[in-house]
Amino acid sequence: MFWIELLIVLVMIFIGTRKGGPFMALAGGIGMFILTFFLHVSPSDPPITVIRIMIAVILAASAMQAAGGLDYMVRLAEKILRKHPEHITILAPVIAYIFTFMCGTGHIVYSLLPVINEIAMDTGIRPERPISATVVASQNAITACPISAATAGILGLMVSYGNINLFNLLLVCVPATLLGSVAAGISVLHHGKELSEDPEYLERVKQGLVKDYKQNKAEEKPVTGKAKTAVVIFLVAMLAIVTFGAISALRPTFADGSQLGMTTIIEIFMMLGAALIVLVCKFNSSTMLDQPVFKTGMFAVVLAYGLCWMVNTFIDDQASYISDTMGAIANQYPWVYIVAVFIVAAITTSQASTTMIMVPIGMALNLPVYIIIAGWVACNANYVIPASGQCVAAIGFDSAGTTKIGKYVLNHSYMLPGLVMSVVTIVAALALGMLVF
């Protein structure tokens, strides 16, 4: 039954990935129908706690974007890059990392890509270098962000582990992922031909396809006080969450002796932050629904509901078999689990989905916490198959034509910086995890 159920789950994931979009979640519904009606598997509960956190974070980020906060952050980033254009291949990934860390979604990179391309072109740097490193770094920060869906997922799943909380999780993941992101930039410092020697770029110049950004700059929108206020409120809410995660004594204690959990604290402060942004900045909250952050975030919620519900049902039904049969192998060769996480992440192209799929398996195998965490940071592998929105968009933003997908699909611009980033991040997380946990 284990292999039959596993085959059903894998087939549904494969079909969902091939169809793409919300059908990834709908494929989970098909899998649930087969498991429950034909194999009589008792359904587990959908990941409601994780979904609640995701919705709260999405609302807060959408409110900040609606108030102009993200535009303000992009303006600050542009100033930093223009002051040090010769270091853009290192600085751009770090800035993208910070943006994702603050906002909880890698899709924030869309607003940075045009700026990075323009500055690289003006400086004579091959745009592929900073763009490719920036795209993978923006994803790497997902497993370091205290308000990302993936972080919410692992905290919610591992709540039974008494030695893991938001603070020590970040203590491992922030330096590990940041180090990996910097390594991604370093790995492509001299990758490919120089811009002045690149045949694709020279042909585009000859045909007049490359814009002269100095003559065709778009008029900059003025930064409002509301935008700055929205960013401050959002950052204060994030700081409050991290503080409560670090100092458990600050959390409310109830009559029965129980203490307010971190998942609920994240939900409360994100909702509170969103409400304060709307009230203080005085804008129509309906505009939040039209923001890109809201749309991409709710897509992640849909995936967590459909796909992860099916996987959780399979794991709960086969927990004893997974633990008894495969536990010894995974404990003796923990790298097998880490590689498995990487492969699943490459297929699903979603950190949140991979978290919900693979972390329960690691727990069922009774793996050490540091192995599960090292495997978790491997879920930033959606660059392997360059079909994600960020990978595709970056190719379009590179007006020089240097960022591309090769003839054999996997020989693309993101592979080198991505693999370097993943290896460095995993090794650093293993080392730090052994010390912290």
pTM of the model: 0.75
The C-alpha atoms of residue 432 and residue 347 are separated, in whole angstroms, by 27
- Report how many helices (DSSP H) and strands (DSSP E) the chain contains, helices first: 20, 0
Q: State phi, psi for 345 to the nearest 5 degrees.
A: -65, -40
The C-alpha atoms of residue 293 and residue 299 are separated, in whole angstroms, by 10
Residue with tokens 């192998």, as numbered in its chain: 329
For 232, the token pair is 């401050």
Residue with tokens 């809201």, as numbered in its chain: 294
pLDDT recorded at residue 273: 94
The C-alpha atoms of residue 358 and residue 409 are separated, in whole angstroms, by 26
Residue 43 DSSP SS3? coil
Residue with tokens 């008029």, as numbered in its chain: 219
Angle at 215 between CA 211 and CA 220, to 5 degrees: 100
Cβ–Cβ under 8 Å, residues 413 and 132: yes
Q: State phi, psi for 253 to the nearest 5 degrees.
A: -115, 135
The C-alpha atoms of residue 49 and residue 155 are separated, in whole angstroms, by 10
| Segment 318-367, tens digit of pLDDT | 877 766 666 667 667 788 899 988 988 887 777 887 888 888 888 888 88
The C-alpha atoms of residue 202 and residue 210 are separated, in whole angstroms, by 9
The C-alpha atoms of residue 127 and residue 116 are separated, in whole angstroms, by 8
The C-alpha atoms of residue 313 and residue 44 are separated, in whole angstroms, by 5
Q: Whose CA is closest to 105, among 348, 350, 284?
A: 350
pLDDT recorded at residue 95: 93
| pLDDT less than 70: residues of the chain | 17, 162, 211-221, 322-328, 330-331, 387-389, 407, 409
Q: Is the dihedral of CA 9, 14, 17, 20 positive or negative?
A: negative
For residues 369, 374, 379 and 385, what is the CA-based torsion angle, rounded to 10 degrees? -150
Residue with tokens 């709960």, as numbered in its chain: 316
Q: Is the dihedral of CA 75, 140, 19, 152 positive or negative?
A: negative
For the beta carbon of residue 323, count every other beta carbon within 10 angstroms. 16
User: If you write DSSP's letter for every residue of 284-340 in order, what string do you get?
Assistant: -GGGGGGSHHHHHHHHHHHHHHHHHHHHHHHHHHTHHHIIIIIHHHHHH-HHHHHHH
CA Rg value for the chain: 22
DSSP 86: G
